[in-house]
Amino acid sequence: MKDLSVTEKISFRTLGVLAVIVVSGLLLFTMRHKPRPIEPTPGMETSRRLWVRVLLFDNMKEFALSTPSGFTVLDGDGRIAAQFTESCGAVLVAVLEGGIVIGEHVFGNHVRIEPDDPFVFGVNNEAYRGHVQLIVASDGESFDVVNSLPLESYLAGVIGEEMPSYWETEALKAQTIAARTYCLFMKARFGARREWDVTRTQANQVYGGIKSESPMVWDAIRQTSGCVLVCRRGDGEEIFPTYYSSTCGGHTEDSSHVFGDSYEPLRGVPCPYCEDVARRSFFQWPTVSFAAADVSRRIIERYPRFKSLERIVAVEPGQVSEYEGFKRNGSLRLVGVNGRSKTLRAEDMRLTIDRTGKKIKSNSYEISPRGEQFVFSGGRGFGHAVGMCQYGAEGMARRGKDFKTILKHYFPGSSIRRVQ
Ligand SMILES: [Zn+2]
């Protein structure tokens, strides 16, 4: 191993365009996060059919690839294109004239990088498990970075992002089964027609790779290994989209009002468990207001069918679910300056006006005009409220309920099955 202070710059002879920067040692793996040794990635022997493909980055131009081991590069047909027998520190990966360049080597428009034991690689400063595929976009200007890895190793990078890893073990186990089922559902529904199964963002489940792992999360995964939720469908059983969100505010919501799909376990249940556990600002969130002109512009930009309203000047209730002590909007009727109106799902409106979802925290609120503003008041809950209420799950676990009881409560009629 060379001196860590040495940085070599090698001119890119063949192409004369790029410089490759090689940093010796495992700098990227040791300079960030907890100084925990990286354990070998479990499950590498499992069938690739059960692996998960996570879209890490799209439209990427270049990144620093690092591995603590050697690695193999395969071409789009799965043939070995190159082998790097020992750690190369960090090497520049880039796109050039429609192909992928790794260090000084030029490949085609689709490569798969398979690190040796412990099956870990780094993209810039973040470490991930499994393999990584690089797929050049049709214009040849950028590429997608897709991490494929065993399902359980994927979950290790998800659970701690979606729920605090210091929460009760039974809540973490319930979360793990919900996340595992959700991932397999998305893979089955969308994976066949694209190069990846899920994104690493809130659009699916937040995945942070190795930095998000913890011993508590790994324990929850091992204790529920391969377990998923199923519900009756026709004559058989099926996995279903096991949605979850932070704080329901007292009652979970029927999925048909939010996502438009209807499964028996997603009809909504009372939740007396999150009130005592959730942050006050999650259970009842403060009044927020947005300029009416911005609300109108954002909605029309995102949904061109609202152009015919010209400018949105009023918002009226559409479908509303009524629960003890509060209501939740399923849809809203948007009224234009010309008197026309159209309906929009409340969840779509909320995330269009406030992309972060952190101001208009849920769909439970009253909306009223005040001057040039729309005011959202009486807000209750955090998230879409479909499926498992995470603070409620923690509340149940603190009351001594086990993960099976928690899942049965939030997904009534569902059963746990083992898939691998
Ligand atoms: Zn709740």
pLDDT, one tens digit per residue, over 102-137 is 998 999 999 999 999 999 999 998 999 999 999 999
Parallel, antiparallel or unpaired: strands 99-102 and 89-96 = antiparallel
Which band of pLDDT confidence, cut at 50, 70 and 90, is reported for residue 420? Answer: low
Structure confidence by residue, pLDDT tens digits, 133-173: 999 999 999 999 999 999 999 999 999 999 999 999 999 99
Question: Separation of 313 CA from ligand 1 center, angstroms?
Answer: 33
Do 157 and 42 meet the contact criterion of CB atoms below 8 Å apart? Answer: no
| Closest residue by Cα to residue 219 from 147, 168, 148 | 168
Do 383 and 361 meet the contact criterion of CB atoms below 8 Å apart? Answer: yes
Question: Separation of 274 CA from ligand 1 center, angstroms?
Answer: 4
Contacts of 392 (CB under 8 A, 6+ apart): 247, 248, 271, 273, 274, 277, 410
Question: Separation of 405 CA from ligand 1 center, angstroms?
Answer: 15
Question: Separation of 329 CA from ligand 1 center, angstroms?
Answer: 17
Cα(first)–Cα(last) distance of the chain, in Å?
41
Boundaries of every domain in the chain: 7-149, 156-278+384-418, 280-380
Question: Separation of 273 CA from ligand 1 center, angstroms?
Answer: 6
What is the C-alpha separation between 173 and 175, in angstroms, rounded?
Answer: 5
Question: Hey, which bits of 209-351 come out as E strands?
Answer: 227-233, 236-239, 244-245, 284-285, 288-291, 312-317, 320-323, 326-329, 331-336, 341-345
Question: Separation of 394 CA from ligand 1 center, angstroms?
Answer: 10
Which band of pLDDT confidence, cut at 50, 70 and 90, is reported for residue 302? Answer: very high
Check pLDDT > 70 for residue 41: yes
Parallel, antiparallel or unpaired: strands 388-389 and 244-245 = parallel
Which band of pLDDT confidence, cut at 50, 70 and 90, is reported for residue 35? Answer: very low
> Can you give the pLDDT at residue 36?
58
Which residue in this structure is represented by tokens 């399902």?
151
Note every long-range contact of 343-347, with CB atoms under 8 Å and residues 24 or more positions apart, other chains counting: 343/318, 344/299, 344/303, 344/306, 345/258, 345/260, 346/258, 346/318, 347/258, 347/259, 347/384
What is the C-alpha separation between 181 and 201, in angstroms, rounded?
Answer: 17
Question: Separation of 392 CA from ligand 1 center, angstroms?
Answer: 4
Check pLDDT > 50 for residue 2: no
Which band of pLDDT confidence, cut at 50, 70 and 90, is reported for residue 193? Answer: very high
pTM for the whole structure: 0.89
Q: Torsions phi, psi of 60, nearest 5?
A: -85, 145
What is the C-alpha separation between 349 and 376, in angstroms, rounded?
Answer: 12
Q: Torsions phi, psi of 310, nearest 5?
A: 65, -65
Check pLDDT > 90 for residue 30: no
Average pLDDT over residues 287-304: 96
> Can you give the pLDDT at residue 31?
38
What is the C-alpha separation between 280 and 288, in angstroms, rounded?
Answer: 16
Residues surrounding ion ligand 1 at CB below 5 Å: 248, 271, 274, 389, 392
> Can you give the pLDDT at residue 86?
77
What is the C-alpha separation between 158 and 370, in angstroms, rounded?
Answer: 41
What is the C-alpha separation between 357 and 351, in angstroms, rounded?
Answer: 6
Arithmetic mean of pLDDT over the chain: 90
Question: Separation of 330 CA from ligand 1 center, angstroms?
Answer: 17
Do 331 and 346 meet the contact criterion of CB atoms below 8 Å apart? Answer: yes
